[in-house]
Amino acid sequence: MVYDFTRFQSILFDWRIDLSDVQREQLTVYYEMLAEKNKVMNLTAITEFEDVLEKHFLDSISVAQFIDLSGALTLIDVGTGAGFPGLPLKIMFPNLNVTLADSLKKRILFLNEVIGTLRLDGISTVHGRAEDLARQMSYRERYDLCVSRAVANLSSLSEYCLPFVKQGGRFVSYKSNEIEEELFAAKKAIDVLGGRLEQVIPFQLADTQIGRSFVVISKEKKTPKAYPRKAGTPSKNPLS
């Protein structure tokens, strides 16, 4: 089947991102594998090609408008689910060294299938809860950038994600455009975990009504050894 990438490519052009034939083919195969696997496994409620392009692929890649991804950065995507945003970012920026982390083994197996089919290098998956993985020396404070589209309050997300980020690195949370209360509630957590709120970037996804905010948190100090707390605690009892 032939898919229409015209609008997608035009938006990327506006963002100063080129789409090669290889990348177009990789995104096509990724979409087809996602749609097929979704018939037997709940990966996403969004399945139509144009919707996946807009609400998953473009949304994932949109952070590149504001964060320079041109270098050989190490990136971890916490709570990646069906691979968003980490896998589209890897496809569009092959220079990235990406780790996709998720707590559900079935999702990790699917992502391994996609990575193998696309023959991607410099990308790996890890199965486990963020609270457990961030205590392992092979992951703790090893990354230049942590990204997450996971659905959780910013205080909890900061505890999940900041321990993975090295000093001088950043954690970028994909959020909706209504985040003032979350930001206020997360101030203590961000500080305790060694972070500093760098900026909040609101924007509208091109030609849509989708409002988005990127919360950019820089890592200024090492995360204290007490964090993250044991599995389940950050979501049940957020730092505040």
Q: For 19-72, what is each residue's pLDDT tens digit?
A: 999 999 999 999 999 999 999 998 999 999 999 999 999 999 999 999 999 989
Q: Is residue 134 part of a domain?
A: yes
Q: Could you tell me if residue 220 is inside a domain?
A: yes
Using alpha carbons, select from 160, 181, 179, 171 the residue that is nearest to residue 235. Answer: 160
Looking at this protein, which amino acid is placed at residue 75?
Answer: L
Q: Is 170 part of any domain?
A: yes
Give domain status of residue 60, yes or no.
Answer: no
User: How many C-beta atoms lie closer than 10 Å to residue 140's C-beta?
Assistant: 18
Query: Considering the domain boundaries, does residue 24 fall inside one?
Result: no
Residue-number span of the structural domain to which 183 is assigned? 68-236
CATH number of the domain within which 105 lies: 3.40.50.150
User: Over the stretch 127-143, which tens digit does the pLDDT of each residue have?
Assistant: 999 999 999 999 999 99
**Which pairs from 14-20 meet CB under 8 Å and 24+ separation?**
14/206, 15/61, 15/62, 15/64, 15/65, 17/61, 17/64, 17/92, 19/92
Going from the C-alpha of 20 to that of each of 11, 93, 203, the distances in angstroms are 14, 11, 26
What total number of domains does the chain contain? Answer: 1
Q: From CA 51, how far away is CA 219, in angstroms rounded?
A: 34
Residue 91 lies in a domain: yes
Residue 213 within any structural domain of the chain: yes
Residue 202 included in any domain: yes
175-215 per-position pLDDT tens digit: 987 888 999 999 999 999 999 999 999 988 776 777 889 99
Does an H or E element contain 175, and which?
strand 165-175
Give the predicted TM-score (pTM) of the model.
0.94
